[in-house]
Structures are given as C-alpha cells and as structure tokens.
Amino acid sequence: MQPCVVSNVDDPALVEMRRSQFVKAASELFARKGYHRTTIRDITQSAGLSTGLIYSYVRAKEDVLFLVLENVLKSYLAEIPRALEAGGGPVERFCATVRAYCEVIGDKPDATQLAYRETKSLGADYQTVIKNMELETNQLIIDRIEECIDAGYFRPVNVELLTYRIVLLAHGWALKAWRLQQFTTLDEYIDEGLDLFLNALLTPEGWAHYREVREGRGVQ
C-alpha cells in the first residue's frame, strides 16, 4: 500500500533489526547535523556496521531519511491512542489526547524538528506517505473534537481548523523548545494551552461536565 522500502535481505527479523540500528543512528545524526551533512559512512559507523551493508537494507540514502521520519510518525500513531485507555468522558478524552500528543513530542522534540526540516528532502512519493501519516495522526484529534461536539460539550466549530491549532500547539513545543524551556515547563505549556481552547470551546453544558471532572480530580 505504501511505497515500501525494498531490501535485498529476506529474513524479516534481520531486516527489522538492522534497519532499526541504522534508523537509530541516522535519527541522532540527522537531528544533529542535518540530512545532507550526514554521510552514509557517518550512519554506518555510528551503527557499528560496514559502509556497504546499509545498501542491503535500503536502496538509497533517501530511504534512510524516509525510514527515520516514518518511524517518528509511527510512534505518534502508536503512543497517542494510549491516552484513551484511561476512559473518561468526551472532554476528558479530548484533553488526554492533546496532552498525549504534546508529551510524545516533548519526549523527543528533535524528531519533530527533523520532520519539519527534512520532509522536503524526500521525493514526492515519500512526502505523500509522510503527509498521509500526519493526516492519520490528525484524525486522532478530529475524532475527539467531534465526540465533544456530538455530546454537546463543544460549540460547533471548524473542526479541521481547530485540529490544526492543536497540532501547532503540540508541534510548537518542539519548534520553539530551545526558548520555551527557559520560562515554562511542558506541563504548564499544555495546561495553559488546553485552558485557552476549552475556554473558547466549551458550551455551558460542557463547562458543567468539565468542572465536575476537575473537582473530582482535585479531591483525589
């Protein structure tokens, strides 16, 4: 379905293992030196493997960049939905998802910065795949917003636009981490950010529900 990176090696477990070695090394290097300043030798040496080997697992340097970025977006898609395991009402689920998105990015801001910097270094096909994964991630937020609207807790809004504001809230931490960390924490950043949105979105009914939950939490 997606333009999969091809490998000479058959054993899928080995492919998985080697690629993750190369991706790990490349992620660090790309983040530090950028894609173009990082050589294949840098990557293979850093992975403790020989220069030529990488070409048994990848067709070209570009494939490595794709695998790195794919890996980042995959981790979003894997981590964010776990915020819903705790259950709760629509608003809680919305907040948990936003928080999860911010936290997964806060966990490795370099990865998100890398995505912003180097996605355009990919060929058109790979860019499409990456963008589709981003849209898939956005859907996790869209679903929460619509849940809140359907429940009557959020005012009806332009869902797509709101989603992007939240995406920018999350990505913003990564993009400006160097400075934001000087005068705030990720927690405060998220809390205040959520306040901003809830303030503008909650209906009276939503407020009632939200207060209930917060007080319940506060008692704990």
Partner DNA sequence: CATGAATGAGCATTCATTCAT
Partner DNA sequence: GATGAATGAATGCTCATTCAT
Alpha-carbon gap, residue 146 to 125, rounded angstroms: 31
What angle in degrees, to the nearest 10, is found between the helix axes of 159-175 and 186-201? 160
Contact at 8 Å (CB) between 39 and 89? no
Which of 148, 172, 173 has its CA nearest to residue 159? 148
Determine which residue in the list 18, 19, 61, 171 makes contact with its own copies, applying CB under 8 A.
Answer: 171
Please pick, from the candidates 28, 46, 89, 165, the single residue that binds its own copies as defined by CB under 8 A: 165
How many Cβ atoms from other residues are within 10 Å of residue 108's Cβ? 15
CB 95 within 8 A of CB 145: no
Query: Which one of 197, 202, 206, 209 is in contact with its own copies (CB under 8 A)?
Result: 197
Shortest distance, position 190 Cβ to its own copies, whole Å: 12
**Is residue 156 involved in binding its own copies (CB under 8 A)?**
no
Residue 165 binds which entry of its own copies, DNA, none, CB below 5-8 Å type-dependent: its own copies
Which is closer to DNA, CB of 3 or CB of 156? 3
Binding interface with its own copies (CB under 8 A): 34, 36-37, 116-118, 120-121, 158, 160-161, 164-165, 167-169, 171-172, 175-176, 179-180, 182-184, 188-189, 192-193, 195-197, 199-200
